[in-house]
Structures are given as C-alpha cells and as structure tokens.
Amino acid sequence: MEIRQLQYFVEVAKQKSFTRAAQTLHVSQPSISKMIKALEEELGVALLDRAERKMELTDAGELVFDHAKKVLQLLDSLSSSIGEIRNVERGRVKMGMMPTVGSFLLPNVIALFKKHYPGIEIEMKEYSAKLLEIQVEQGSIDVGLTVLPADTDKFAAVPLQAEDLVAIVHREHWLADRQSVNLAELRDEAFILFTEEYAIHDVVKQACLRSGFEPQVAYMSSLWDFVGELVATQLGISLVPRSIVRRLNNSELRTVDISHPVIDWQYALIYRKDRYLSHAARAFIAFAKEHLGL
C-alpha cells in the first residue's frame, strides 16, 4: 500500500468524481483510476460503487476513507514537526555541566537562547568533569560543559572562555602581600586539593610536577566553599579558578597570581564525535560559541 494510493482515494471520495479529483491533484484521470484499482486489488474489496450515476463509497470504502484520512493527517503532522525541528523551532537539549562553572558561565546565555528559541527545552544536570565525560560518552546527555583537555578520540570540543588558576591563602600567610608567586616557591606548602573525580585535581597536580615537586596534600574536598573555609582556617593553601575567588567572598582570604607557569583553565563544550547531534543541540552549541567563544 502506497501513500499516494491513499491520497488519490481520499480525494476521489471527497469529490465523488475521478475527473474533479484529477483536476485537484493535477494528475491524469487514468492515473487515479489505476492507483485506486490497485488499492482495491491489494485489499481484496471494492471501495467505490461505480454503478450509480453519483459515485458512492462502499462499506469497505467508508472504513478505508476514515482510516486513510487519519494516516494522511498524521503524515502531515509528522512533516510539520520535522520541519519545526529542522528549523530549530522545537526540541530538547540534555546538558551536563560542572558545579559552579555552569552557574558562572551559562545563566545569561541560556536566558538569551530561550528568547531566540522559545520552543527548545534545556535540561541541565551537574557532574564532576570526569563523570561528565562518561555521561556524554554513554549518550545520557547531548552536550557537556567542562574544561580542556578532553579525549579527542571520542569528543569534539568547542573552546569557550578561559581563565587562569590563582592561589588563595590566609590573610596572615607569608604570601598574602605578594601580587604573584612562582609555583615552584610553593613546594613546602600544605595543599588543599579537590577530590580526584574533579578535573582541577589533575590540573593542579600536573602543574606542580612540571614545576619540580609533588604537592603535599593536607586535605581534599569536593566543595568549592569548603575548600575556601579550610584555607581561611590556615590549614593550607589552594589553587582555584579566578572566578571562584569572587564567589568565596571571605575576608580572611587573599588572592595571589601564579606568575610561572600560568595555569590555564579552558572551558569547552564537548559532544560525541560518532553520535547524532540534534538540531536543537547544534543550535545551542553555535549560540554558546557566539556568546562565550574565544
């Protein structure tokens, strides 16, 4: 059974005439007759009573007419829906983001995006950087807001804004009045690091190793504000993204730049290279790149 057969049959049933149906559909009358005859043969029933001067539907024809109209309406609806998706008028973006980072970068962008694409829903969840990559890889989320580097074999990455890591110390620490410090000068300090599931753990540790020492870890935490509180009680120092310092808002803390090496904290959106990416997700990535790109 072909869609065109149903289209021709419905039009004939509406017009009660092969001639008028042919004029409406802009096809020849013999083509319509051939299509409907083939449909009747396939179904094994007569659909049209051609004996009367005025063409009428048989009982089977009435049944097929009702169902055919529904099928054609569903196809029209499907076509319209696909068109809306293709034109990015509707859809859903499942997005993962690192805690705090998302609240720093995304609120204004999402607000603007919703104005441009009111029919697109954005579903957001928070993950640590390493767990976020797993969620993107498994297809649980479409796009992840993370920090580079990412596994380039698995993910495509769209670089966004970048910032540097800075040291935070207690206001009575020997570094408190310094504007900057060489990372190698911190070899004897007690470090408060983030736990291993967070990307910043590896970034800080690798930066210290490149500077010739392994950091002495006093405490580890998964909470930004708790890290700040530990530093404020003089239990150690920590390295955090500069934007986080403003959020800690603790008068006991001082910020010191890392003069060498500069530790970049590069934000990026990642998605699977080998998986279909919806039109809505593509639109969000392009929008975020426009507003947060380098």
Rounded to 5 degrees, φ, ψ at 33 are -60, -40
How far CA 276 is from CA of 117, 171, 227, in Å, comes to 20, 51, 39
The one-letter code for the residue type at 18 is F
- pLDDT tens digits, residue range 231-274? 999 999 999 998 888 888 788 999 999 999 988 888 899 999 88
pLDDT at 212 (0 to 100): 95
pLDDT higher than threshold 60 for residue 285: yes
> Which domains are delineated in the chain?
3-86 (1.10.10.10), 91-294 (3.40.190.290)
Cα distance between residue 223 and residue 232, in whole Å: 14
Closest listed residue to residue 288, CA positions, set 44, 152, 82, 95: 95
Alpha carbon of 294 to those of 94, 110, 139, 213: distances in Å?
A: 24, 18, 27, 32
CA angle, 251 as apex, 248 and 255 as ends, to 5°?
65
Q: Is 209 helix (H, G, I), strand (E, B) or coil?
A: helix
105, HSE (Cβ side, Cα atoms, 13 Å): 26
pLDDT tens readout for residues 177-232: 999 999 999 999 999 999 988 888 999 999 999 999 999 999 999 888 899 999 99
Whether the pLDDT of residue 81 is over 80: the answer is no
**DSSP secondary-structure letter at 213?**
-
Q: Give the per-residue pLDDT at 102.
A: 66
Question: Mean pLDDT over residues 56-75, rounded?
Answer: 85
Q: In the predicted model, is pLDDT for residue 80 greater than 70?
A: no
Residue 144 Cα to chain centre, angstroms: 7
